[in-house]
Structure 1
Amino acid sequence: MLAAAAFILSTALLASADRSLSLKVAAPSAEITDVDNFRVAATVSNTGSETLRLLRDPRSPLSTYATETFGVVNNKGARAQFSGIKVRYSPQAVAKAGRAESFVELKPGESVTVEHDLAGVYNLTTTGVAAPSAEITDVDNFRVAATVSNTGSETLRLLRDPRSPLSTYATETFGVVNNKGARAQFSGIKVRYSPQAVAKAGRAESFVELKPGESVTVEHDLAGVYNLTTTGVAAPSAEITDVDNFRVAATVSNTGSETLRLLRDPRSPLSTYATETFGVVNNKGARAQFSGIKVRYSPQAVAKAGRAESFVELKPGESVTVEHDLAGVYNLTTTGVGAYTVDAANLFRVVEADSSLSDIYADVVAAEVKVQGKLASFKNAMVAPATARMSKRASYTGCSSTQQSQISSAITSGQSYASSSYSHLTTNPSGSTRYTRWFGTFASSRYNLVLNSFSRLRTYPNGWTYNCNTCSDPDTYAYVYPSRYGTVYLCGYFWSAPATGAGSRADTIIHEGSHFTQVLGTDDYTYGQSSCLSLAKSNPTNAVYNADNHAFFSVNA
């Protein structure tokens, strides 16, 4: 009989309603005082209603091979290093041979216990990491001391591998995680290193030799190696009783050592546009449906223009908080009342001194809110259901005669681009260089989506309403509500854009029109020609659903 277990793992492996197994791992002794006595017993039970004939696969607890069958983790979450064997094995050949000793047969309710000797299979040499101070008030003083102790019975000669705590290289040796589970972004170095060559050279300074019971401590300066820029999302109230009061405050803090100049990109928490900046998920894992806007924006053009109001500059230690009204932006009627987690988009665009852009990803600390009471937003109720207007003339809201003329020309040119694109696609039903350039590897299913989109855009824009007096943002072309068909809100940058070509008023009609669910329902995964070309290569499906890819394809950029 086994004594009380030191650790137990229970899992259910379901192949069908009639087949199920349970696995229990127990240590014969609750305390092991000598690693050479490290043994466990694995019990596999048939909890289903069918007789099971199981292979003694070397990777499973049914085999006594010293393979990596177990996970050995201490109470700090550190995993013991596997130092056992790797086995070549053919399950198909063994099954076909049918030798009785290759299997374990378990009738319903039967169990089998297999003992395993783990001495020497898992290396319990431990790495302890301590911060010189329990509190760091300046990230430039972020230092830790790593202590490696040999708790085994053999002398160990360890390489000072750049990836290990025995080296002081600024590599990704550590995992820096806050109390919410958010991981700090690594911004250190990558090193090319040959363990074999170093071992062969045998230089004493390349190793650390530890006799049983000995330790070595190595100090590490982590300032600048991990970027602690964080994004925090907080709900003004922990409980929301009316969805029309659903507001959150996003705080972006620069905990690094450099001043950052961040774009107020409409997709980021630094902008108050009602874009899909947040993820709103209930405690069942169901995501609230987004019902906000899609915006056309050119990060490159905004960075080049250099208007102060287009950026947020954060010195080390500084923070900025932006409040967001999410009423009507996320539909909670299907996800219901209860607890929700609200997190934020974590990509920020950094404007460098030469106006070029680089990306930085922030760790997100999510907000926890409880939603009760009314779920239907008054803001959504004010809007009529989406219908496809079949009017043959565009209509205008708050537009001057000059603006109406510019819009009319943009519609004509945009529909001409759509017609030309449709003709190109029908002439090349198996793809073309132009198609691959903007939409990636050809697939008929994706091709048909693009074809249908341009078929609709040949005529639909002439029946839409164009609003000129709602948005004046000089950094934004336009936006639409994808689920509210037929209204395009034109913003400040639309009027200063060229009439035709890439990034024009004409291809903005294509971009915004593709967002409507009645056209295709595209997203804004990325902006700009360079990023769109990269997207087509890396993810053709996302390219087909990216509005700027449609715009640039239409003008044959």
Structure 2
Amino acid sequence: MMANVYANELEARIFSARSTFGKTEDVVVKLEYSNTGAQTTHIHNWCLPSNELYDPLFTVTCNDVPVEYLGPVIKRREPTIDDVIPVAPGKTISTIVRLSSVYDMTQTCNYSIQYNMPIEHVIFRHAQTLKTLPDKPISKLQSHIQSNNIRLAVEGRSNIKHRQNNIMTVRKRAASLNYVGCSENATSDIIAAVSNALNYSNNAFIYLNRKKPTGTNRYTTWFGTFVLTNWNT
């Protein structure tokens, strides 16, 4: 109950300096927490990330369809006071968060974005005390901390994590190959062929994502004259 009490005094807001983003521009938002209460509130430090997200702090939709979170989901130990950030009464803390690296924004869309997290994942309950409990029904206490909702026009772009997830899906399927009427040698050849094909495609993927788009020898051998649109495809 204590976490719920303090959640009513912690406000989250998100802002964007612009409303449209081209395919080569990172989609970033500013996240703010404000303490509107009379007591210091402590929030977990992973809820104030520095640029890159390591938790799905946001609900993102495209045409009212939820967008997949592609970033890491970390299982953490029980937090201590060393894992929190104090927010004094009347104070606001903020950070800049890059969304396009961890949410699937491969479609061109007007994306709806809202900060939305369960209270227990945000507020460090052990730092609060019973003496500040307000006189209000439990039914009216919050279960989540939610921000305002903003809409951003985003041009679809490639996402390396999305591609990596697809590669892992292919690998999982390859790991469960079935063989009917194959000799031992044929089965061995199939396993080697699938493994080689996966390695080849993965190397190509890494090459295209790490190299600056230019007419490299490898590119021209396969595709001829360099064209940026072909590289991106």
Distance in 2 separating the partners of 1:370 and 1:227? 31
After TM superposition, give the deviation of residue 281 of structure 1 in Å.
1.1
C-alpha spacing 1:339/1:275, structure 2 compared with 1 (3 Å): same
1:315 matches 2:96: no
Deviations 1:228-272 (A, max 9, x none): 42111122321111265112221111111111111124xx4x235
Distance in 1 separating the partners of 2:71 and 2:38? 36
Q: How does 1:415-454 map to 2 (within 5 A)?
A: none
- Check conservation: 2:53, 2:102, Cα contact below 8 A: no
The match for 2:207 is: none
1:352 matches 2:133: no
Deviations 1:357-380 (A, max 9, x none): xx97434112221112x4222564
The match for 1:326 is: 99
C-alpha spacing 1:318/1:243, structure 2 compared with 1 (3 Å): farther
Distance in 1 separating the partners of 2:115 and 2:88? 22
Kindly report the root-mean-square deviation, in angstroms, between the aligned alpha carbons of the 2 structures: 3.4
After TM superposition, give the deviation of residue 317 of structure 1 in Å.
1.1
Equivalent in 11, 15, 20 of residue 239 of structure 1: 20
After TM superposition, give the deviation of residue 341 of structure 1 in Å.
1.3
Equivalent in 364, 369, 388 of residue 147 of structure 2: 364
After TM superposition, give the deviation of residue 384 of structure 1 in Å.
7.2
More helix by share: 2
- Check conservation: 1:229, 1:363, Cα contact below 8 A: no
1:274 matches 2:54: yes
What secondary structure is seen at the aligned counterpart in 2 of 1:242?
Answer: coil
Stretches of structure 2 that go unaligned for 5 or more consecutive residues are: 130-141, 176-233
Distance in 2 separating the partners of 1:236 and 1:262? 25
After TM superposition, give the deviation of residue 273 of structure 1 in Å.
3.3
Equivalent in 276, 289, 308 of residue 68 of structure 2: 289
Structure 2-normalised TM-score? 0.55
Q: How does 1:189-228 map to 2 (within 5 A)?
A: 227-228=8-9
Aligned residue type for 1:367: I
Q: How does 1:292-303 map to 2 (within 5 A)?
A: 292-298=71-77, 300=78, 302-303=79-80
Distance in 1 separating the partners of 2:54 and 2:41? 24
After TM superposition, give the deviation of residue 354 of structure 1 in Å.
8.0
Report the count of equivalent residues: 154
Give the % identical residues. Answer: 14
- Check conservation: 1:246, 1:327, Cα contact below 8 A: yes
Greater relative contact order (CA < 8 Å, ≥ 6 in sequence) = 2
Distance in 2 separating the partners of 1:318 and 1:367? 23
- Check conservation: 2:58, 2:113, Cα contact below 8 A: yes
Stretches of structure 1 that go unaligned for 5 or more consecutive residues are: 1-184, 188-223, 391-557
Q: How does 1:24-35 map to 2 (within 5 A)?
A: none
Distance in 1 separating the partners of 2:4 and 2:153? 34
Distance in 1 separating the partners of 2:27 and 2:144? 26
Distance in 2 separating the partners of 1:293 and 1:376? 18
